[in-house]
Chains A and B, each alone.
Chain A
Amino acid sequence: MDMDMASSGMFVPPQTLGTVLCCICGVPMEPNPANMCARCLRSRVDITEGLPRHAAIVHCPECSSWLQPPRSWLRAELESPALLSLCLRRIHKPLSRLVRLVHGEFVWTEPHSKRIHVKLRVQREALHGAILEQSHLVEFTVQDRLCESCSRAQASPDQWVATVQLRQHVPHRRTFFFLEQLILRHGAAARAVRIKETSSGVDFFFGHRSHAMKFVEFVSGVVPVRRRSDKQLVSHDTKSNNYNYKYTFSVEICPICREDLICLPPKVSNSLGNLGPLVICAKVSNSILLVDPETLRTAFLDADEYWRTPFGALLSSRQLVEFIVLDVKEKTPEVTVSGSRYCLARVEVARMSDFGQNDTTFDVKTHLGHLLKEGDVVLGYDLYSANSNDVEMDKYKGFELPYAILIKKSYEEKRQRKHGKQRKWRLKRMQMEVDDGARGRGSEEKRNNEYEEFLRELEENPTGMLDQMTIYKNKDHRPSETASMLSGDDDLPLDELISKLELSDDEEGEEDEDMAQ
């Protein structure tokens, strides 16, 4: 009634509630619906009657996760909010039926006691409508049980469910070195249980099919691949009709690599607009860039297009021969084709083996006109003396082979100067199991040479390749006094690239990668 009077604008004098005596103990208190002081009320009425005092939760000691029935496992630390919500959910039904929860917190218990104490403050209406608040302790017993994934991992630690078999049928391993760096950079093989090297490829083993799928998608985005997948039944639960399979993804990388000389089959040549049958592969990403060195025409071949009519390389970078440039004539202006600069020119070259010996020179058309000058050493394919058994070439009637096709400039001299000096930078290697039986003797040395070649290639061709990898500072590198005099323009702009990176020997394979660019 006072409220109505006040809201209607009448003056209502301020009212102070007096004190009455608690009817049980006689202590003065503010009147409440029960007219008993809080202590008397609490001693008469126990509002936590009927609330659970004990409950059990299940914990996996391996991955420190907690079971949320019926099936899911939740990662949580002791005394974390996630664990608190889990505990409250366990006793939610009886709790919400009887009382209202106001506050909940953990009481510290010794971790190895396997008990978790949760103190709750609950509110409930006691007699005569008075709302009483009381604290209530619930004790959770922690039961240890291995979760499914941990038990599976423990039963057979190398158990894999899916495998990706990457293969490339070429005699060298350049692609795999490059892929290794890419994978490390993007962490695509982070979920791999095991990585194994075989003679013409690498096998990746995963615990889940989805991880393997993700990896396969990643690889098909960076190199042109052909893939197929298979599955093998491992076990079958007749009651619940659960089938466990082992999945295998067979991924074949196309055998065309950078700097390969290719003779296109007539069909492919026609479909690309009569691109001259001899082409150089300039770049391999998820599509292949083919460049005709004589006309500077380019074409992109998608993975699908390639695998429809697959072809091999005529000559690959193993067969590169050194030439020396004697004369550069008829330079045309430079053009930029598909992001790279080319310049058609006619040059007179002689093989290094012929150069002091005899007068054999070749007059060739080349696309490297902008780089070459007299006296340069060039690497190229010697078609004059090459004996090719290519089926495709025979299909072309009356086709005249050029004497040589120049591919790239050689930096051998600079390399000689730098010989023995360590690089300022180095790359991380992936931990791989090596299948020793698949290779023969001497392959260790061959491997090291190949890797050295790869690193050299990176040094000499920094654009494009190094953008995709992460490089680290070589801690053992000691800059010598003469380095400053000799540092040429083909030195990598190291300061930009590796400003804050460090990779020590024992951290290899464990540290997270850091990015400077």
Chain B
Amino acid sequence: MATRIQFENSCDVGVFSKLTNAYCLVAIGGSESFYSAFEAELADVIPVVKTSIGGTRIIGRLCAGNKNGLLLPHTTTDQELQHLRNSLPDQVVVQRIDERLSALGNCIACNDHVALTHTDLDKETEEVIADVLGVEIFRQTIAGNILVGSNCTFSNRGGLVHPYTSIQELDELSTLLQVPLVAGTVNRGSEVIAAGMIVNDWTAFCGADTTATELSVIESVFKLREAQPSAIVDEMRKSLIDTYV
């Protein structure tokens, strides 16, 4: 289910938060309604952790992670690192890496199996990513833009990319990522997808400016409508029953 929220009157929620299947990070200093929106959806399922990275609030763009691990830039202070290690579940590996391109959220887009990275990323970093996040890495550009982390968002079930992506590129990416992709916008025509929304396998949060059309596109491509445990069982039931008695 997709929800519309705002962080301090800004619709760029993807900048101030990070959502994965195992945890959720939010920036400090926002209003309580911001947190309550997250907690209402996620509190009983995954931990919602308030943090800052390097003293800044733009945590969504600085870190990259999935259910297996979390990567932090070299600007992260030791206290923040320790705080995150303490707050997150044990199976999540928290690692700080030394990378010239420190806005890891802009450079890496990943789900639990595949990651797309900035073309200029170091070789060592790539190895660390593969190791920590447990993903297969592809260096790619999207619509001619090298900041893949900002121009696309994908979960294990679907993905949304920059609207200028050509059909051939969509096919190529789709093959790489093994998920259905759609080119679209968020936050009333904004092309920076990852800054405008955060998503995991069963829920998504978008900026308050997102129109109904965009929301419906998001819900359909990330398959959020039937993301209730019961719905999955119903589908399975249909395929199990073959005869009426």
Q: Identify the A interface with B (CB < 8 A).
A: 1-2, 13-18, 20-26, 31, 34-36, 128
- Check if A1 sits within 8 Å of B141, measured CB to CB: yes
- Check if A20 sits within 8 Å of B211, measured CB to CB: no
**Also in contact, A23 and B164, with CB within 8 A (given A1-B144, A18-B170, A35-B185):** no
Report the 10 A-B pairs with minimum CB-CB distance, sorted nearest first: A35-B189, A31-B163, A15-B166, A26-B213, A20-B163, A35-B185, A18-B167, A23-B189, A23-B211, A1-B144
- Check if A23 sits within 8 Å of B168, measured CB to CB: no
Which residues from A are CB-within-8-Å of B169? Answer: 15
The answer to the question of B83 belonging to the interface, with a C-beta cut-off of 8 Å to chain A, is: no
Which residues from A are CB-within-8-Å of B188? Answer: 23-24
A501 to chain B, nearest CB (A): 76
- Check if B183 sits within 8 Å of A24, measured CB to CB: no
**Also in contact, A35 and B213, with CB within 8 A (given A13-B168, A15-B166, A18-B167):** no
Q: Which of A20, A21, A24, A31 has the most CB of B within 10 A?
A: A20
Give the residue of A2, A21, A128 whose beta carbon is less than 8 angstroms from that of B217. A21
- Check if A25 sits within 8 Å of B213, measured CB to CB: yes
Which residues from B are CB-within-8-Å of A18? Answer: 165-167, 170, 183
- Check if A35 sits within 8 Å of B211, measured CB to CB: no
The answer to the question of B216 belonging to the interface, with a C-beta cut-off of 8 Å to chain A, is: yes
In the complex the two chains form, what is the Cα distance from A17 to B144 in whole Å?
12
CB closest chain-A residue, reference B141: A1
Give the residue of B167, B170, B184 whose beta carbon is less than 8 angstroms from that of A21. B184
Q: What does the 1/0 interface line of B133-168 toward A look like (CB < 8 Å)?
A: 000000001001010000000000000000111111
In the complex the two chains form, what is the Cα distance from A34 to B184 in whole Å?
12
- Check if B213 sits within 8 Å of A31, measured CB to CB: no
CB closest chain-A residue, reference B213: A26
CB closest chain-B residue, reference A127: B189
In the complex the two chains form, what is the Cα distance from A15 to B183 in whole Å?
14
Q: What does the 1/0 interface line of B179-200 toward A look like (CB < 8 Å)?
A: 0000111001111000000000
- Check if A22 sits within 8 Å of B165, measured CB to CB: no
A21 to chain B, nearest CB (A): 5
In the complex the two chains form, what is the Cα distance from A31 to B142 in whole Å?
15
B195 to chain A, nearest CB (A): 14
- Check if A16 sits within 8 Å of B168, measured CB to CB: yes
- Check if A20 sits within 8 Å of B144, measured CB to CB: no
Instruction: Given contact pairs A20-B163, A31-B164, enumerate 16 new A-B contacts (beta carbons under 8 Å).
Output: A2-B144, A15-B167, A15-B168, A16-B167, A16-B168, A17-B164, A18-B165, A18-B167, A18-B183, A23-B189, A23-B214, A24-B188, A31-B183, A31-B185, A35-B190, A36-B189
- Check if A128 sits within 8 Å of B189, measured CB to CB: yes
CB closest chain-A residue, reference B212: A26
B200 to chain A, nearest CB (A): 23
A343 to chain B, nearest CB (A): 102
In the complex the two chains form, what is the Cα distance from A65 to B112 in whole Å?
79
In the complex the two chains form, what is the Cα distance from A225 to B165 in whole Å?
89
Which residues from A are CB-within-8-Å of B165? Answer: 18
Which residues from B are CB-within-8-Å of A34? Answer: 189
CB closest chain-A residue, reference B191: A35
Which residues from B are CB-within-8-Å of A24? Answer: 188, 211, 213
In the complex the two chains form, what is the Cα distance from A20 to B190 in whole Å?
12
A162 to chain B, nearest CB (A): 72
Give the residue of A16, A25, A26 whose beta carbon is less than 8 angstroms from that of B166. A16
- Check if B170 sits within 8 Å of A20, measured CB to CB: no
- Check if A20 sits within 8 Å of B184, measured CB to CB: yes
CB closest chain-A residue, reference B170: A18
A231 to chain B, nearest CB (A): 75
Which residues from A are CB-within-8-Å of B166? Answer: 15-18
A-B contact pairs, 28 of them (CB 8 A): A1-B141, A1-B146, A2-B144, A13-B168, A14-B168, A15-B166, A15-B167, A15-B168, A16-B166, A16-B168, A17-B166, A17-B167, A18-B165, A18-B166, A18-B167, A20-B163, A20-B184, A20-B185, A21-B184, A22-B213, A23-B211, A23-B213, A24-B213, A26-B212, A26-B216, A31-B164, A31-B183, A35-B190
In the complex the two chains form, what is the Cα distance from A128 to B188 in whole Å?
11
Which residues from B are CB-within-8-Å of A21? Answer: 184, 213-214, 217
Which residues from B are CB-within-8-Å of A16? Answer: 166-168
Which residues from A are CB-within-8-Å of B190? Answer: 35
Which residues from B are CB-within-8-Å of A22? Answer: 213
Which residues from B are CB-within-8-Å of A31? Answer: 163-164, 183, 185
Give the residue of B146, B168, B183, B216 whose beta carbon is less than 8 angstroms from that of A20. B183
Q: Which of B166, B189, B214 has the most CB of A within 10 A?
A: B189
A130 to chain B, nearest CB (A): 9
A429 to chain B, nearest CB (A): 82
- Check if B144 sits within 8 Å of A23, measured CB to CB: no
In the complex the two chains form, what is the Cα distance from A57 to B100 in whole Å?
66
B206 to chain A, nearest CB (A): 12
CB closest chain-B residue, reference A36: B189
CB closest chain-A residue, reference B185: A35
B120 to chain A, nearest CB (A): 13
Q: Which of B169, B191, B211 has the most CB of A within 10 A?
A: B211
- Check if B163 sits within 8 Å of A35, measured CB to CB: yes
In the complex the two chains form, what is the Cα distance from A13 to B188 in whole Å?
31
Which residues from A are CB-within-8-Å of B216? Answer: 26
In the complex the two chains form, what is the Cα distance from A36 to B211 in whole Å?
11
* Segment 26-78 of B: residues with Cβ below 8 Å from A: none
In the complex the two chains form, what is the Cα distance from A34 to B163 in whole Å?
11
Q: Which of B144, B213, B217 has the most CB of A within 10 A?
A: B213
In the complex the two chains form, what is the Cα distance from A25 to B183 in whole Å?
16
Which residues from A are CB-within-8-Å of B217? Answer: 21
- Check if A23 sits within 8 Å of B141, measured CB to CB: no
Which residues from A are CB-within-8-Å of B214? Answer: 21, 23
In the complex the two chains form, what is the Cα distance from A25 to B213 in whole Å?
7
Which residues from B are CB-within-8-Å of A1? Answer: 141, 144, 146
